[in-house]
Structure 1
Amino acid sequence: MELHDIDLNLLVVFNELLRQRRVSAVAETLGISQPGISNALNRLRRLLGDELFLRTSKGMVPTPFAETLAEPIAFALSAIHDTLNAKPTFDPASSTRTFTLAMTDIGEIYFLPALMKRLGQIAPNVLISTAHDASETLQDEMEAGHVDLAIGFIPDLKTGIFQRRLFRQRYVCLFRKGHPLGKTGMTLAAFREAEHVSIVAEGTGHGIVDEVIARAGITRNLRLRVPHFVAVGHILQTTDLVAVVPQAFATGTLEPFGLESAPCPVKIPDILINVLWHAKNHREPGNQWLRQLIFDEFSV
């Protein structure tokens, strides 16, 4: 006999008859009519080729064959019940799990110092790995379980994705201390005349900067294009170049690199920084814990 040949509910009836020995009591416990219990027993008798239970003045008495089945069936049903009702948990204090977070280099600069400090306090053995996935591959990586969470401005990440807002972010102009713009101010005319570094940041939403500036009819005096933000602080501190960057990046680089920031004279829409996760991890305890931690630490 194969498992697909038998209805699990028949074994539930069998187990209850072993325990209570009365059809009426089993019917009341399982919420099934007495004829329904009798029908289930008859089906099981035909499947197993044994009477299983005999009617006596003391109730339904199991046959020797039924008694041999009693313990393994009770054990199997108990194991199934416990498995289906088990609630997975996550203990950050003892976990050695690795979480992979997708973020840009801005995200690494802004989020990781505070996040790692907090993890050191409450989850000392948890390992964080970051990935710089472009939005066109990030969807697949999250669906496959290779990336646990994504953090940042990722407007193209939608299908099967949950998200929670952390904060709203504006763009500012960034330049070195002592730059002539620090005295004259960042006017639209000064913005046009300044020499600029442009950050391409492919696969993220930061491409809107160049698009918005172009739509405003402004042609920047571009001297340098770089694919990411990580070198921008080093570049600005020793040149007169200007960069248009998110406020979070500016905040993290002002002091270390001796820079200043000013409102951008071109109106660039604010961006929303979110923590995002795939639907498959929506109720996974470890994922729930980490995204709540990130929300508590960084949401405004």
Structure 2
Amino acid sequence: MELHDIDLNLLVVFNELLRQRRVSAVAEKLGISQPAISNALNRLRRILGDELFLRTSKGMIPTPFAETLAEPIGFALGAIYNTLNATTTFDPASSSRTFTIAMTDIGEIYFLPALMKRLGKIAPNVTISTVRRTSETLQEEMETGRVDLAIGFIPDLKTGFFQRRLFRQRYVCIFRKGHAVAKAGMTLAAFREAEHVSIVAEGTGHGMVDDVIQRAGVARNIRLRVPHFVAVGHILQTTDLIAVVPQAYATRTLAPFALEQAACPVKIPDIVINVLWHAKNHREPGNQWLRQLVFEEFSL
């Protein structure tokens, strides 16, 4: 097959069907009729000799052959889009661009103070907008360019993404000053007996903490579950609850909330904090500038 044998628009339809899984949604996104989408799909089926998508109660499901085409076609379309829309330079001193970064509440606590201070000096008119997304939603948002970067522990973002390591960190136990475990020590027995606050952090890699502790055969006395980290310092400050948190969160939380930390008696694997971006933005000058800035400011 030669490139002149295929219409680029057919690949655009293919790529959107992979994302949307419904002809009606693709038609709405591309601003053309549903029959036109069906016609484009039929043309592509004839060219490639495969059904590509099968109609089910859950929408249009890609065939195994279509799944093998997904990454290279997505990458190629992203490269074309980036080339046609790229600017040759990015001047942070004069730019008034808004960048959207996906991060958790830990990320906001740990990264934003230093990042905004640095931007105030070298890019005074650049604006940062943060969002929280599940890994599934985040992939789509970054593929479409609505999110520029993601920072954190996000092991599910792989195909079509680049990443650069910022640092590794361990999990620790934190609790208020004067807590019984501060004097007796955070032994495994003390860990079992203590009352815990568990942080769900849905859609991030931090959910593995509960699984690791359970697999170790340790039953925690969980008195409270919260969906995110932001309130944990306030909670621990006035209770006898303890929490297992990443070191980055502990670093920013101990002093403001009069807390202490101890090594966790259950072995929890270290995690890697990365800055991630989609292939379509790999050579985009503004994205390159921002991720290099993040790396220079926070890599250890």
Partner letter of residue 234 of structure 2?
Answer: H
Deviates more, 1:86-95 or 1:230-239: 86-95
Q: Runs of 4 or more off by more than 3 Å in structure 1?
A: none
Instruction: With the length of structure 1 as denominator, give the TM-score of the two structures.
Output: 0.71
| Matched position secondary structure for 2:275 | strand
Partner of 1:211: 211
Q: Distance in 1 between matches of 2:150 and 2:172?
A: 24
Partner of 2:182: 182
Partner letter of residue 195 of structure 1?
Answer: E
Partner of 2:263: 263
- Deviation at residue 87 of structure 1 after TM alignment: 6.3
Partner letter of residue 284 of structure 1?
Answer: E
Partner letter of residue 158 of structure 1?
Answer: K
Q: Distance in 1 between matches of 2:128 and 2:235?
A: 29
Q: Distance in 1 between matches of 2:233 and 2:87?
A: 47
Tell me, yes or no, if the aligned pair for 2:87 and 2:285 is still in contact at 8 Å.
no
- Deviation at residue 159 of structure 1 after TM alignment: 1.4
Partner of 1:296: 296
- Deviation at residue 243 of structure 1 after TM alignment: 0.2
Deviations 1:150-183 (A, max 9, x none): 0000000111100000000100001001111110
Distance 1:87 1:142, change over 3 A: closer
Tell me, yes or no, if the aligned pair for 2:153 and 2:205 is still in contact at 8 Å.
yes
- Deviation at residue 288 of structure 1 after TM alignment: 0.2
Q: Distance in 1 between matches of 2:193 and 2:87?
A: 62
Pairing of 1:82-231 with structure 2 (within 5 A): 88-231=88-231
Partner letter of residue 263 of structure 1?
Answer: A
Q: Percent identity of the aligned residues?
A: 83
Q: Distance in 2 between matches of 1:110 and 1:126?
A: 20
- Deviation at residue 136 of structure 1 after TM alignment: 1.1
Extract unaligned runs of 5+ from structure 1: 1-82
Partner letter of residue 279 of structure 1?
Answer: A
Partner of 1:63: none
Partner letter of residue 231 of structure 2?
Answer: A
| Matched position secondary structure for 1:222 | strand
Q: Distance in 1 between matches of 2:179 and 2:121?
A: 41
Tell me, yes or no, if the aligned pair for 2:87 and 2:284 is still in contact at 8 Å.
no
Q: Distance in 2 between matches of 1:267 and 1:208?
A: 12
Q: Distance in 2 between matches of 1:268 and 1:133?
A: 24
Q: Distance in 2 between matches of 1:195 and 1:182?
A: 14
| Matched position secondary structure for 1:111 | helix
- Deviation at residue 218 of structure 1 after TM alignment: 0.5
Partner of 1:75: none
Partner of 1:248: 248
Q: Distance in 1 between matches of 2:176 and 2:111?
A: 23
Q: Distance in 2 between matches of 1:108 and 1:177?
A: 25
Q: Distance in 2 between matches of 1:205 and 1:148?
A: 20
Partner letter of residue 229 of structure 2?
Answer: F
Please tell me whether residue 234 in structure 1 is matched to residue 234 in structure 2: yes
Q: Distance in 2 between matches of 1:175 and 1:120?
A: 35
| Matched position secondary structure for 1:172 | strand
Partner letter of residue 237 of structure 1?
Answer: Q
| Matched position secondary structure for 1:218 | coil
| Number of corresponding residues | 217
Extract unaligned runs of 5+ from structure 2: 1-82
Deviations 1:200-219 (A, max 9, x none): 00000001100000000000
